[in-house]
A and B are shown apart, each in its own frame.
Chain A
Amino acid sequence: MGAEWERVCPVDDLEVERGVTALVHGQAIAIFRTHDDEIHALGNYDPFARASVLARGIVGTRAGVPFVASPMHKHAFDLRTGRCLDDETHSVPVYDVVVEDGVVLVGRRKQAVA
């Protein structure tokens, strides 16, 4: 793994469906572990409320899509793509994430999915 991957925390520290905020590459990143043990990393900044809060939202599914609801005004963001499910003109960045030796690593920002 190159220097662009940053170790965040042991995967066991991530509770299912309850986010944490990490500081990665100087950015506030929201990290979530879903019920099916997928791990997702998103920018923590809610573009609607203009506050760094997404990790504190409720995690669930909407028509099968895993999402987090911002704690501010409940805008839903797809955990896999960062796309806002309520307003397609908005999205938040998503980041590569892997688990290595029981540790969560966050990498580069993913390119937007067309």
Chain B
Amino acid sequence: MRHTRSTLVVVGHGMVGHRFVQAAIERGLTETHDIVVIGAERRPAYDRVALTSFFAAESADELSLLPEGAYDDPRVTLVLDAEVTEIDRAGRAITYVSPAPGNVTEPLTNPGRVETIAYDALVLATGAAPFVPPVEGRDKDGCFVYRTIEDLEAIRTASGSATSGIVIGGGLLGLEAANALVQLGLETHVVEMAPRLMPVQLDGSGGATLVRHIEKLGVRVHAGVLTEAITGDEAVTGLRVRPAGTEEGAETTTVDAQVVVFSAGIRPRDAIARECGLDLAERGGVLVDEQCRTSDPHIFAIGECAAPGGRMYGLVAPGYAMAEVVVDALREGPGTFTGADMSTKLKLLGVDVASFGDAFATTPDALELVYSDAVAGVYKKLVVAESEDGTFRLLGGILVGDASAYGVLRPLVASGIALPANPEELILPASRGGVELGMPDEAQVCSCNDVTKAQIVHAVAEDGCETVADVKKCTRAGSTCGSCVPLVKNIIEEHFAAVGKVVDKGLCEHFRLTRQELFDVVAVHGYRRFDDIVEAHGTGRGCDVCKPVIASILASQFNGHVLDTDNRQLQDTNDAYLANIQRNGTYSVVPRIPGGEITPDKLIVIGEVARDFNLYTKITGGQRIDLFGARMEELPAIWRRLVDAGFESGHAYGKSLRTVKSCVGSTWCRFGVQDSVALAIALELRYRGLRSPHKLKGGVSGCARECAEARSKDFGIIATEKGWNLYVGGNGGAVPVHARLLAGDLDTDTLISYLDRYLMYYIRTADRLQRTAGWVDSLEGGLDRVREVVVEDSLGLGAELEAEMARHVGSYFDEWKATLEDPAKLSRFVSFVNAPDTPDPAISFTEERGQIKPADSEGPVVLGATIPVGAPDAARVS
């Protein structure tokens, strides 16, 4: 047997081509094959489904599926900016030219590189191209398609000088494009020939509900109209339309616009296959069998360029499935592609839309159940069929305005299990539905990654997964579109309930409640004392876990002094002495320096205090100064000096706002577009002293260069020409997370109201010691959920959250100043209760680089000689 390696050539590096290579590596195909991938675009595969988020992204890299630009596996070669010009089927070789002619805008100085590669197997993943209908004037300046990052860059450039834009096509992609135009600040029109939006997915009522939603956002919808011509000389000035179904010459109207985006469907990119004589489907696309093999057994086609059984699939999930099938075929496995679930769930312009199964009730004897609330803008339809045993089966449905039931409903279609006696309950508001129905093991839960209920249960029962995040990692379920996440969560919980495993979400042995539940309990009952809370809702006397949590909740809600009588025994290490304990039992002191701005005089005061108390001095990452080595009993004297000079507590010791870091901003910086320092100071002063589930950090950058590193913070603000972009959920540390865009181009007042809501929502609902990044991820819906609550105010909580923050801001006081004014609070700042003038002998220092450092401790220190007592030294008895 020969052991020569084979060569596998993949043409196309889009989402499906990339997934194919990933699967090939994961499943060991590179043990026997060298893979050459040829991509026509200049960048490696990126997430085209999320294309609209490009405008919010810092750079195109955020969308990249291969940010490193190359595969880890050295047996995979990626060639970009290259176009395959010929497939020589007889000689089994392809020829490509690079740079790809389609990318060339300037005349080339040389003809480019031409290469020929022999293949043993060839996979076509060339995708699709936007369809531009033959409308008069479609070549004018200002006409675009919506497919690549380059398309979006061109649209953005053109939008700079435009006031309004039109999208031709009211389907799924057209509405995505409309969203992009809205984000670019254009007055946006959508023109659709069919009488409603999303004609493939929605019925008349669903489409009408969607129109009401998006017209509220300022998008004008023109449904049931034909595009006659694009007007203008060289550049677009508008679009002339007439009602669909009328003859030429009928009365027309003209919509003014300087930008026109065609989004009227896609066509398979099958030219290269056609040229080499492969069979094509009647309506385009490379005809393939169930193994995705073309009419040439050495050539496969996957994704949008392929037509399994003559049908093209314009979604990414079927493309992924085809990629897996071909990897299987190359390993001589049994996998087949026999069709795909074309169910869709997405958020278009902030509106939930889902369509699944037989949404149009085309099955004979299908019945429709409809729930519609025009006021709330919710439309839900279930299509069901009665079985012989009198029960109902779900065939499909449509959800607009609230698609939360999708995760439960869609798998019911595939599983064919009987619905409950009152199936309408599945779509009534507040319905939970779902696993109580006893979904069978083989039911597909995640359609993007083809994960069944049985696989999820296995991951939980056998592989030790306990959370949705674990299951995602283990099975990929929920890792693509995320719509099945609620169902995955239900399955995990159901399994634990079935095996009698108690998933203890309680804080500790003293409280069965979560932090969020405790927060609500305190809010409802108005408790102010730990003793009352533990007596009513807990057991025992608490511990180092629950006491600081309750201290933090009380501080968040009432903003009392953390050293007040009822609370001080609850405070964690650092809060208990309003300073940060260090390794030898001394403390460090951090005065607040809002935004990192400080006058020379105040800087001198810090220097003098550090010198007079012999403190080790270091600049922090949060643009302030940390003074180390203070003995506990020295803290009041140090703070007396600092408070007199106008300093306040920096709360470096608290689970609370630390700093809002800033760059120097437009005041000084020649690149700055906004005054980042002033905003950082305002925000730091606004949120100072705010106790929260974990520490909070902020940052403000005055331009897109991001010198304040704001996106590594819990909230980061980056200046734009028009205002501020607000990013949330970032952190540095062991697992760095970039903050993600919550809302863009905000004026300062809106920014602050969103921040108020965001922070208060976090404080109310996060777990103990959960940073904002983990909190955002833990919410069902993730960042979208935060946006719904904070920006769209979907829970109607906005005003309440802002009022809570206003109460915090209004009741702020400097807790160090208040401590200095209260002898009862000061009384504990002594070394020994019976020898307040004796410094703790366990603390000693050596010197390093001209400053103090803690000396290592050899064990307990005995002051036998200085305290004349008669007893033998107890420590040495044993």
Contact = CB atoms under 8 A, between A and B. Distances in A.
Interface of A: 2-4, 6-9, 13, 15-18, 20-28, 31, 34-35, 43-45, 49-53, 56-64, 66-67, 69, 71-72, 74, 76, 93, 95, 107-109, 111-112
Contacts of B544: 57-58, 60, 69, 74, 76
B874 A60 contact: no
A47 to B, nearest CB: 8
Contacts of A34: 541
* A interface SS class: strand
16 contacts: A2-B871, A25-B869, A25-B873, A27-B875, A28-B842, A51-B585, A51-B857, A52-B585, A59-B569, A61-B510, A67-B543, A72-B583, A93-B878, A95-B874, A108-B871, A111-B878
Contacts of B540: 60-61, 64
A8 B878 contact: no
A44 B875 CA distance: 12
Contact of B543 (A69, A71, A72, A109): A69
B835 interface: yes
B303 to A, nearest CB: 53
Q: Which of A4, A26, A34, A64 has its CB near the most chain B CB atoms (within 10 A)?
A: A26
Given A3-B869, A49-B583, 10 more contacts: A9-B834, A21-B831, A23-B863, A25-B874, A28-B861, A56-B577, A58-B569, A58-B571, A58-B572, A60-B546
Nearest to A63: B509
A109 B569 contact: no
A46 B856 CA distance: 14
Interface in B808-846: 828, 831-835, 838, 840-843
A23 B874 contact: no
- In the A-B complex, the 4 residue pairs with the closest CB atoms: A3-B870, A4-B871, A69-B544, A52-B842
Nearest to B573: A71
Interface in B766-799: none
B374 interface: no
A59 B870 CA distance: 32
B310 interface: no
Contacts of B90: none
A8 B830 CA distance: 14
Given A3-B871, A52-B585, A61-B541, A21 B833 contact: yes
B544 to A, nearest CB: 4
Contact of A66 (B541, B584, B874): B541
Interface string B528-565: 00000000000011111011100000000000000000
B604 interface: no
B173 interface: no
A15 to B, nearest CB: 6
Contact of A60 (B547, B581, B835): B547
B434 to A, nearest CB: 37
B864 interface: yes
Q: Which of B570, B571, B871 has its CB near the most chain A CB atoms (within 10 A)?
A: B871
B669 to A, nearest CB: 43
A43 B877 CA distance: 14
Contacts of A49: 583
Contact of B877 (A53, A69, A71, A109): A109
B860 A71 contact: no
A18 to B, nearest CB: 4
A52 B840 contact: yes
A56 B871 contact: no
A22 to B, nearest CB: 5
B735 interface: no
Nearest to A51: B585
Nearest to B862: A26
A7 to B, nearest CB: 8
A114 to B, nearest CB: 13
A25 to B, nearest CB: 5
B584 A62 contact: no
B619 interface: no
B599 interface: no
B104 interface: no
Contacts of B572: 58, 71
A62 B869 contact: no
A12 B816 CA distance: 26
B875 A43 contact: yes
A58 B570 contact: yes
Nearest to A20: B833
A13 B833 contact: yes
B835 A27 contact: no
A59 B573 CA distance: 12
Interface in B300-351: none
